[in-house]
Structure 1
Amino acid sequence: MFWFKQGLCFLPVFLVIWSSSTFIISYLIALFRHDVDIIFPYISDTGANPPESCIFGLMTFISACAGIATIYARYKYVEKLSGDTRVVNPCLNKTAFVLGIFSCLGMCIVATFQETAVTEVHDVGALMFFVSGILYIILQSVISYQAYPFGSSMSVCRVRSGIATIAFLAFFPTFICAFFVTQTTLHRQKDDKDYPFHLASAVCEWIVAFSFICYFLTYIDDFKLFTLRVKTEFQE
């Protein structure tokens, strides 16, 4: 059996590949059409104008759906692990699940409301995505330590903690520097007064986004160990 057919590991594999492709493809199209600058535009800038906005919206929505499926599968896996060993706090697992769903909802909002069309709603969705997503991976790191040695290995726990720390630290310059960015144009000049703030915010935004992607890579080995089944019951 091929390794990606073991258990449910195809879920995080698909999520990582598809999400990475979403960011890269929309960036390359926007760059080819000269809609953005080559040096670190905001991720949303790459999906602001058609046709890349259409591709970005569709692919991001699919990523959000794959994210929901992966987060739910992780939740059920930890629930089963906790039921058998009682090493993980069920409330912690449920809280992480809710935060993960909110993060995916934020992705859908970002994909649906482009920053150049409905800026306020787009910003709320981005904030929901980043804050909920960071809290989710932090709680999952805590859960990984609680489940050890029944869950992941200690090396995986440390990798997850490292990725969560990077995302947490990168979020603050993303959020703070964005307040000092006064221009909303897609093309920036190095002599703009707010260019350093734009550059710092955009770079850290890409770091946070790919931290999420790298975090789901650590799920692959865990997801090889289980499957989910749907049980149908008829009401009398």
Structure 2
Amino acid sequence: MFWFMQGLCFLPAFLVIWSSSTFIISYLIAIFRRDVDLIFPYISDTGANPPESCIFGLMTFISACAGIATIYARYKFVEKLSEETRVVQPCLNKAALWIGMISCLGMCIVATFQETTVMIAHDIGALLFFLSGILYIILQSAISYHAYPFGSSMNVCWTRLGIAIIATLAFFPTVICAALVKHATLHRDTKDEDYPFQLSSSVCEWIVVFSFICFFLTYIEDFKLFKLRVKTEYEE
């Protein structure tokens, strides 16, 4: 049996590969068409103009759906683990589930409303995505420690905690420096006074996003341990 056929590990594997491809493909197309600058544009900038905006929107929506499926599967795994061992409080597990869903909703909003068309909606979606995403990986890091030695190894627990710390630390300069950018345009002059803020903000944004991707990468081994089955009951 191939590794991706074990349990449900294909879910986080698909999420990681698809999400990475989403950001890289839209970036490469935007660079090829010279719609953005080569050095660290905002991720949203790479999906602002067609045709990359269409590709970015579709692929991001699929990533959000894969995220929902992965987050729900993780929730059911922890729920089953808690029924047998009582190592994780149900309220903590449910909180992580709903916060993760809100983060995926933020992704859908970002994919639907480009920053060049409806900036307010786009910014709200991005804030939902980042804030909820960081809270989700922090909660899941805590859940991993509570569940140890069931499920994840201690090395995985430390890895998840490290990723959560990196994402949290990168989030603050992303928001603060973005607030100091005076001119929100796709092309920037390095001589602009606020260019260092824009560069710092965009670099940290990429760090936060790929921290999320790396976090879901740690799910692959856990997801080899279980499967989900749908039970249908017919009521007369």
Displacement over 3 Å in runs of 4+: none
Partner SS, residue 20 of structure 1: helix
> Which letter does structure 2 place at the counterpart of 1:165?
I
Q: How does 1:16-95 map to 2 (within 5 A)?
A: 16-95=16-95
Q: Distance in 2 between matches of 1:95 and 1:203?
A: 30
Shift of 1:185: 1.0
Shift of 1:184: 1.3
Percent same amino acid at aligned positions? 79
Shift of 1:235: 1.2
Shift of 1:134: 0.2
Q: Distance in 1 between matches of 2:185 and 2:17?
A: 30
Match of 2:129 in 1: 129
Structure 2 segments unaligned to the other structure (5+ residues) = none
RMSD: 0.3
Match of 2:225 in 1: 225
Q: How many residues matched?
A: 236
Which deviations, in whole Å up to 9, do the C-alpha atoms of 1:164-187 show, x marking residues without a partner?
A: 000000000000001100111100
> Which letter does structure 2 place at the counterpart of 1:204?
C
Q: Distance in 2 between matches of 1:166 and 1:95?
A: 22
Which deviations, in whole Å up to 9, do the C-alpha atoms of 1:85-133 show, x marking residues without a partner?
A: 0000110000000000000000000000000000000000000000000
Give the TM-score normalised by the residue count of structure 2: 1.00
Give the TM-score normalised by the residue count of structure 1: 1.00
Match of 2:9 in 1: 9
Q: Distance in 2 between matches of 1:98 and 1:194?
A: 37
Match of 1:192 in 2: 192
Which deviations, in whole Å up to 9, do the C-alpha atoms of 1:124-153 show, x marking residues without a partner?
A: 000000000000000000000000001200
Q: Distance in 2 between matches of 1:170 and 1:184?
A: 20
Match of 2:206 in 1: 206
Q: Distance in 1 between matches of 2:39 and 2:170?
A: 18
- 1:115 aligned onto 2:122: no
Q: Distance in 2 between matches of 1:229 and 1:140?
A: 23
